[in-house]
Structure 1
Amino acid sequence: MTLDASSILWLAAILIVASLVAGFLAGLFGIGGGAVTVPVLFSAFNAFGVDQSLTMHMAVGTSLALIIPTSIRSLFAHMRKGAVDRTLLRQWLIAVPLGAVAGGFLAAILSSEGLRGVFAVIAFVLGIRMAIGRLPFKLGDDLPGRLGRSIAGFIIGAISAIMGIGGGVLNNTFMTLYGRPIHQAVATSAGVGLLIALPGVIPYVGSGWGEAGLPPFSLGYVNLVALAVLIPLSMLAVPWGTTLAHRLTQRQLQIGFAIFLFSVSARFAWSLL
């Protein structure tokens, strides 16, 4: 598909806006921004004429690569405020990356429609949870023991790698269900995103290597041109979100997070119609 100059400029503008929003959300919710960049990249690759069987994998793989720098920036910003659960991150140094690698390989065998369906369903379920707010019950007074945490970390890593997100949508829910404050969950999620993205991107590079029909300057399912636009602008916006996160109440963060998740779910559900 051939695009004229105005179409290329329009797509560039969309990527610029998306990168700023992704960075802002990485700081605000402790997420890698993938829930924003995946649908935008999916649309952009479709517009450039990439085969539709490849566009979702390209969007997810490129999104995971973007999460690496944004999560690093977000993690250090939250660590300066002393809100990160460093003990949990140390205990997840093996479980979360293993889950991310497993999820990446599973995504490679899923269809584009399958990936979009997973994205829409999980985002909707988690949005309902955050919209409800404080539940009349807790799963425990504190996080489960080492085995329980490892199982949870593996699942969070696997689902996040399939969706191309940094795990904040899952880790925030996990920690708050066990009585942890939302601010600590948000801050810790920045570190979880790094544990997911670093190993999780490897299967997307490997499984897409040499695939026919990939756009120029692609390493497997990771496109370097999109990253060149997204990385610097998203990193610029991370501190804005971090600052706002520590000014909002727990309920305000929950409502904002729920609205965000519902919008993501609706976007991908619509794409399947």
Structure 2
Amino acid sequence: MDPFMILALLGMGCFGGFAAGLLGIGGGMILVPFITMVLTARDVPEALVVHMAIATSLATIMFTSLSSVRAHHKHGAVVWRIVALLAPGILVGSTIGPWIGKQMDASTLAWFFGAFVAFSATQMLINKKPAAARELPGTAGMFTAGGVIGVLAGLVGAGGGFVSVPFMTWCNVRIHNAVATSAALGFPIAFAGTIANVFYGWGEPGLPDYSLGFIYLPALAIIVAASVMTAPLGARTAHRMPVRQLQKVFAVLLYALATYMFWKAAT
């Protein structure tokens, strides 16, 4: 891997880690398009590029989540009872999401990812939070909610924050607690999704060297090295300053990345 590619991956890791800690989004929606660019530049077969980018992004969240959640936990912001209730459904859903993704061709998966990112950017830009209309559901309801979060997160290679945070705020969880708890949920999402992507991608024809299933290990290692350093910084920033202006910047970036994924799907 040439030095420019290494620097690009380090930059992605720094930015993705900061976003994960700041917004509880796992960084995946930022990382997937950039990893797609890197894999395309390395002449990975087009049929595998998006699948591998999503799988590699999801694997990074295992490390980013642990790094950012420690900073959130120091502020007492993580609601561990919610983590325990959502985690079983998340573990199930996060194994199903990659399976669904494998059934899609690369173009369809890129279209779906781009649409999800554009929706998430709009949600971030308008900052419309659901009214706190109810309390958290019972065990069965939380399992179902966790399953939905896991399926979507496993399918797009993200930490699930754009689903879990609105769900929790709708259920009367304070926004800072929802962001922190979403960061903690990133680990079970990424763990189950990573195992699934290794299994579903094992022996796939055309995988580049140093791949583990659909996961491209060189990109994983470089991104993680950077992201674990910046995720705590993002988490501390979330507790020390209003993040509204930063949200707008991230939303514009997400629109640009969604546009790239639409272009990738169309070509």
Q: TM-score, normalised by structure 2?
A: 0.92
Find the partner of 1:192 among 170, 185, 191.
185
Shift, 1:124, TM fit: 2.0
Shift, 1:152, TM fit: 1.4
Number of the residue aligned with 1:34: 28
Shift, 1:52, TM fit: 0.3
Q: Deviations over 1:197-238 (max 9, x none)?
A: 001112211121112211111111011111221111110111
Moved more, 95-104 or 124-133: 124-133
Question: CA–CA distance in 1 between the matches of 2:112 and 2:39?
Answer: 20
Find the partner of 1:16 among 5, 10, 18.
10
Question: CA–CA distance in 1 between the matches of 2:6 and 2:225?
Answer: 14
Find the partner of 1:71 among 65, 76, 81.
65
Q: Deviations over 1:37-81 (max 9, x none)?
A: 211111111111110000111111111111111101111111111
Shift, 1:252, TM fit: 4.6
Number of the residue aligned with 1:122: 116
Secondary structure (helix, strand or coil) at the match of 2:93 reads: helix
1:138 aligns with 2:131: yes
Q: TM-score, normalised by structure 1?
A: 0.90
Number of the residue aligned with 2:150: 157
Contact 1:206 1:220 in 2 (8 A): yes
Identical columns (%): 36
Q: 1:257 to 1:45 in 2, by over 3 A?
A: closer
Question: 1:56-67 residue pairs with structure 2 within 5 A?
Answer: 56-67=50-61
Contact 1:67 1:166 in 2 (8 A): yes
Shift, 1:9, TM fit: 2.6
Number of the residue aligned with 2:165: 172
Question: CA–CA distance in 2 between the matches of 1:257 and 1:178?
Answer: 25
Number of the residue aligned with 1:249: 242
Number of the residue aligned with 1:109: 103
Find the partner of 2:198 among 199, 205, 220.
205
Question: CA–CA distance in 1 between the matches of 2:133 and 2:52?
Answer: 39
Number of the residue aligned with 2:208: 215
Contact 1:183 1:250 in 2 (8 A): no
Find the partner of 2:217 among 219, 224, 228.
224
Secondary structure (helix, strand or coil) at the match of 1:265 reads: helix
Question: CA–CA distance in 2 between the matches of 1:220 and 1:247?
Answer: 40
The amino acid that maps onto 1:32 is G
Secondary structure (helix, strand or coil) at the match of 1:142 reads: coil
Shift, 1:163, TM fit: 0.3
Question: CA–CA distance in 1 between the matches of 2:67 and 2:171?
Answer: 27
Unpaired segments ≥5 residues, structure 1: none
Contact 1:57 1:221 in 2 (8 A): yes
Secondary structure (helix, strand or coil) at the match of 1:179 reads: coil
Find the partner of 1:265 among 241, 244, 258.
258
Question: CA–CA distance in 2 between the matches of 1:39 and 1:170?
Answer: 20
1:82 aligns with 2:76: yes
Contact 1:160 1:196 in 2 (8 A): yes
Shift, 1:268, TM fit: 1.7
Q: Deviations over 1:93-129 (max 9, x none)?
A: 2101100001111111111112212212122223323
Alignment: residue pair count:
266
Q: 1:154 to 1:235 in 2, by over 3 A?
A: same
Question: CA–CA distance in 1 between the matches of 2:93 and 2:225?
Answer: 28
Number of the residue aligned with 1:92: 86
Contact 1:217 1:224 in 2 (8 A): yes
Question: CA–CA distance in 2 between the matches of 1:89 and 1:169?
Answer: 16
How large is the RMSD of aligned CA atoms in angstroms?
2.0
Question: CA–CA distance in 2 between the matches of 1:109 and 1:174?
Answer: 28
